[in-house]
Amino acid sequence: MNALDRPSDRKVHKGLMPRLGGLAIYIGFTCAAVIGLIVAVIRHMQLNYLALTGILLGSLVILLIGIIDDIKSISPTKKLVLQILAALIPMMFGVQINFISNPVTGILLLGYFTLPVTILWIVGITNALNFVDGLDGLASGITAIASVTLFIVAVRIHQPGAAILMIALAGAAIGFLRYNFNPASIFLGDSGSMFMGYLLACCSVIGVLKSTMILALLIPVFIMGIPIFDAASVIMRRVRDGRHIFDADRRHLHHRLLDSGFSHKQVVVSIYIACIFLGIGTLSVTFLRLSHALIVMTFVLAAGVLLFYQIKRYVRRFVILEK
């Protein structure tokens, strides 16, 4: 089997590494999810069985796409087409973004834009997590933080199906970190990163984006803020340079922090902290009144900006001087 990640100029690791960690994530997630769903049925919880079936089927398909890519390497265009087809599976089972809630216009019905918006969201988040998977434990840790946050939100707004899938994913990601944190003994591979991103995207649709709560759109965006920001900035640079959006390079946030002088673990932990800050902002939108939530979000953003400038100051004073 050729499921090995070989070192290159843009990669951090130095030797051959197995990269079918997605299988371990899938097995752990499936076992936990099945147990959780059985308990939910026994306790007569209201579950959207149709939507859950679509998500589980689609996640299996995206896992298989990732496994094939890890072994044989699929071309970027073909992989994108397959991702779109995988995104259509949960849509056929009712996992769709039919409307967007916001404090200005209330509910904005998407109508004919339901299909493209849902596909863009699922494929976008799937690739955002795939893009950020460049350092040991980075994507796994981000997934753990995001899924725990989404679990809390889903419980708060009475979406037990999404809550069960998210806590199962959190457990699988945390368990995998034991072997994936630096120095890693196994990589996620595309099978793992795409699988986790796909689940986060789909569960945010049934757990948050289908709710009528004010600022519902901001919740999943905040939860996945770092991967979304990183993917958007990298894609814009590649488009500007006339390159394919899936061309690999060292322009990701974690690469830039590494090049600034931070160690592998410092970069990963720093991004973890940023994700936790965004998670706090997300929970404030869910648990507090709008006015109080805006205050907390402002504080979180201010703290994030301050942390960013402290990092830049550290790099200038210590890292650059040492060089």
Q: What digits encode the pLDDT tens for the residues 260-313?
A: 667 778 788 888 888 888 888 778 777 766 666 677 777 777 766 676 666 555
Which pLDDT band holds residue 30 (cuts at 50, 70, 90)? very high
What's the number of domains the chain is made of? 1
State yes or no: pLDDT of 103 exceeds 70.
no
Question: Which amino acid type is present at position 55?
Answer: I
The letter for the amino acid at 305 is V
Q: Which domain holds residue 117?
A: 4-322
Q: What is the pLDDT of residues 181-233, one digit of tens each?
A: 878 788 888 899 999 999 999 998 887 776 655 566 667 777 777 788 777 77
What pLDDT is recorded for position 29? Answer: 96
Q: What is the mean pLDDT of the chain?
A: 80
